[in-house]
Amino acid sequence: MTVQSDLSARLMARIADKRDDLIALTQELIRIPTLNPPGDNYLEICEYLRDRLQPHGFACELIRATGALGDSDKYPRWNIVARREGTRAGDCVHFNSHTDVVEVGTGWTFDPFGGELKDGKIYGRGTCDMKGGLAASIIAAEAFLEECPDFAGAIEISGTADEESGGQGGVAYLAQKGYFAPERVQHVIIPEPLQKDRICLGHRGVWWAEIETFGEIAHGCMPFLGDCAVRHMGAVLEEFEKTLYPALAKRITDMPVVPEGARHSTMNINSIHGGMEEIPADANALPAPCVPDSCRMVIDRRFLVEEPLQQVRDEMTGLLDRLRDSRPNFDYAMREMMHVLPSMTARDAPVVTSIAQSIRDVMGVDAEYIASPGTYDQKHIDRIGKLKNCIAYGPGILEMAHKPDEYIGVDDMIDSAQVMAMSLLDLLKPKG
Ligand SMILES: [Zn+2]
C-alpha cells in the first residue's frame, strides 16, 4: 500500500467512526429553529458553530450583514466564517452552507425541530436542506485535521443567512466584503442536497416581472360602459398559451439541468390580482359591482445559459406590444422585479475534477454532472465574488427539500463527508 492510499483509508475509517458525532451534530443544528422568514436565531446558530469549530483551531468571525435586505435589529442577519490555516502556503477550500430553513408547513408526523433519528434517517426541517450537508462538511474537516495536521493552504467553513430568500444578508454580503475574493479562496463547495454521487455545476437564470393591464371602472350592471382589465389580462394568458409556452418548450439547453423538464425554458405565473381586493371567506359581506380597472400578474421566467437576458425581456415586450397593436383599448405596463444570470462552472475546473475523483474513490461510481433548475448562493460567489471554481455537492435528495417529514440519510452523510475529506486530501497536499 502506498503512503497516500494508507492515509486515505485511515481518513475514511475515521469518518465512519464519527457516525454518532455526525448524528448528534445534525440533531443539534436542527434543534436551533432558524426559520426564514422572519430570520430567527441566526446569532444562536453562529455561536453554536463557533463553539464547535474553535477547539479545532478555526479562527471564527461572526459577521452581521448590517443594512442588507432583511437585516433589522429585531432579526439581525448573522453569518459565520471560520478559517483554519495550514502549516504552509497553499489553496483554500471553502465549504459554504446556509443556516436558514423554510417554514414548516402542514403534514408532519415528526417534530419539525426534534431531529428524531429513525431507521437511519434524521427527520426535521432543514435536515436535507441543508444542515445535514453542513454537518457532513464539519465532520469531513475535523477528521481531515486530526489525520493530517500538516497541510498546505487553509480550510474555511461558513454558515450564512437568508439563502432561501435570495442571500442578500448572507453570501451576497460576504462576497461584497471580499470573503470570496479569488486571492483569499480558491475552491468553493456548497453542500446543498444534490445527492452524494452528483456534482452540480450551476443553475439557470431567473427573470421576475410584473405585468399590469389597464381598464376603466364602471358599474357592473353596465360593463359596456367601462373596460375590463381582467379580460385584457385574459388576452395575455391566451397569447401565452398560443405562442409563448410552445416556443419555450422547444428550447433546450446543453446544461445538464435536472429534472429533465427544467432543461427547457420555463415560466410560472406566480399570481394574478384583478379588480377589488378579495373579501375574506369568513366575512359577512358582498363585493361592490365594479368593472376592474387594473389587473396585475407576476411572472417567474427561468431561462437558459443560451438565452441572453435581453432576449428574454424582448420576447415578453414583443408579445405585449403585438397585443397593443391588435386588441382595442389594450394597454400595459411592465416592471422588472429581479433577475439572476445563469451560472455554470467548467467541467474541468479543479474543484470539479477533484470531487469527481473522490466520488470514484469512495463510492466506486462515476459522478453525474447536473445543473440546478433554481438558483442558489453560487450566483453571488460567481457574480460578486468573481470566483468560478465553485460547485454544489452534498448529501440528501433534492426532492425532499421544503417537504413535510423532511429527512437526511445518515449513510448518505457519511459517504459525502468521505468524499469531501478525500478532496481536502487532494487539494491541500498534506505531508504524511
Ligand atoms: Zn438550500
Return the C-alpha cell found at 152.
498546505
Please tell me the distance between residue 133's alpha carbon and the centre of ligand 1 in angstroms: 9
pLDDT of residue 203: 95
DSSP string, 329-383: T--EEEEEEEEE--EE--TTSHHHHHHHHHHHHHHSSPPEEEEESS--THHHHHH
Which residues fall inside 5 Å of ion ligand 1, going by CB? 129-130, 192
The widest CA-to-CA distance across the chain, in whole angstroms, is 89
Please tell me the distance between residue 98's alpha carbon and the centre of ligand 1 in angstroms: 7
Q: Does residue 100 have an active-site annotation?
A: yes
- Tell the residue number behind the cell numbers 350592471, with chain if given: 221
- The pTM of the full predicted model, rounded to 2 decimals, is 0.89
Please tell me the distance between residue 130's alpha carbon and the centre of ligand 1 in angstroms: 5
Q: Are 346 and 178 spatial neighbours (Cβ–Cβ below 8 Å)? A: no
Please tell me the distance between residue 377's alpha carbon and the centre of ligand 1 in angstroms: 9
| Total residues found in the chain within this entry | 432
Give the whole-angstrom CA distance, residue 386 versus residue 181: 7
Give the whole-angstrom CA distance, residue 151 versus residue 431: 6
Residues 6+ apart with CB under 8 A from 308: none
Which value, to the nearest 10 degrees, does the dihedral of the CA atoms of residues 345, 351, 357, 363 take? Answer: -90
Please tell me the distance between residue 66's alpha carbon and the centre of ligand 1 in angstroms: 23
Please tell me the distance between residue 164's alpha carbon and the centre of ligand 1 in angstroms: 7
- State the Rg of the chain over Cα: 25
Give the whole-angstrom CA distance, residue 169 versus residue 34: 14
Give the whole-angstrom CA distance, residue 375 versus residue 393: 14
Q: C-alpha angle with apex 303: 301 to 304, nearest 5 degrees? A: 170
Q: Per-residue pLDDT tens, the chain, 432 aa: give them.
A: 566 789 999 999 999 999 999 999 999 999 999 999 999 999 999 999 999 999 999 999 999 999 999 999 999 999 999 999 999 999 999 999 999 999 999 999 999 999 999 999 999 999 999 999 999 999 999 999 999 999 999 999 999 999 999 999 999 999 999 999 999 999 999 999 999 999 999 999 999 999 999 999 999 999 999 999 999 999 999 999 999 999 999 999 999 999 899 999 999 999 999 998 888 888 888 889 999 999 999 999 999 999 999 999 999 999 999 999 999 999 999 999 999 999 999 999 999 999 999 999 999 999 999 999 999 999 999 989 889 999 999 999 988 889 999 999 999 999 999 999 999 999 998 875
Please tell me the distance between residue 371's alpha carbon and the centre of ligand 1 in angstroms: 14
Please tell me the distance between residue 348's alpha carbon and the centre of ligand 1 in angstroms: 25
Please tell me the distance between residue 75's alpha carbon and the centre of ligand 1 in angstroms: 20
Please tell me the distance between residue 57's alpha carbon and the centre of ligand 1 in angstroms: 27
Q: What is the DSSP letter of 258?
A: S
What's the CATH class of domain 205-277+287-340? alpha beta
CA distances to 194, 230, 231, 277, 322 from 237, rounded to whole Å, are: 34, 10, 10, 21, 13
CA distances to 210, 363, 420 from 426, rounded to whole Å, are: 48, 16, 10
Nearest to 303 by CA among 203, 370, 167: 203
Task: Catalytic residue, from 71, 100, 129, 142: name it.
Answer: 100
Task: Catalytic residue, from 71, 129, 147, 163: name it.
Answer: 163
Would residue 126 be called left, alpha or beta, if left means φ above 0 and alpha means ψ between -120 and 50 degrees?
left
pLDDT of residue 431: 78
3-203+342-427 CATH, one of 3.40.630.10, 3.40.190.90, 3.10.129.10, 3.30.530.20: 3.40.630.10
Return the C-alpha cell found at 32.
436551533
Would residue 429 be called left, alpha or beta, if left means φ above 0 and alpha means ψ between -120 and 50 degrees?
left
- Reported as half-sphere exposure (CB side, CA atoms, 13 A), residue 22 has a value of 34
Please tell me the distance between residue 126's alpha carbon and the centre of ligand 1 in angstroms: 8
DSSP string, 208-272: EEEEEEE-B--BTT-GGGSB-HHHHHHHHHHHIIIIIHHHHHH-B-SS-BSSGGGGB-EEEEEEE
Helix (H, G, I), strand (E, B) or coil at 297: strand
Burial of residue 348 (number of CB atoms within 10 Å: 0-12, 13-18, 19+): exposed
pLDDT of residue 432: 57
Q: Are 173 and 69 spatial neighbours (Cβ–Cβ below 8 Å)? A: no
Q: Which residues pair with 274 in a beta bridge?
A: 295
Q: Does residue 163 have an active-site annotation?
A: yes
Nearest to 392 by CA among 409, 372, 407, 362: 372
Return the C-alpha cell found at 197.
454521487
Please tell me the distance between residue 194's alpha carbon and the centre of ligand 1 in angstroms: 10
Q: Are 208 and 338 spatial neighbours (Cβ–Cβ below 8 Å)? A: yes
Domain ranges of the chain: 3-203+342-427, 205-277+287-340
Give the whole-angstrom CA distance, residue 102 versus residue 125: 8
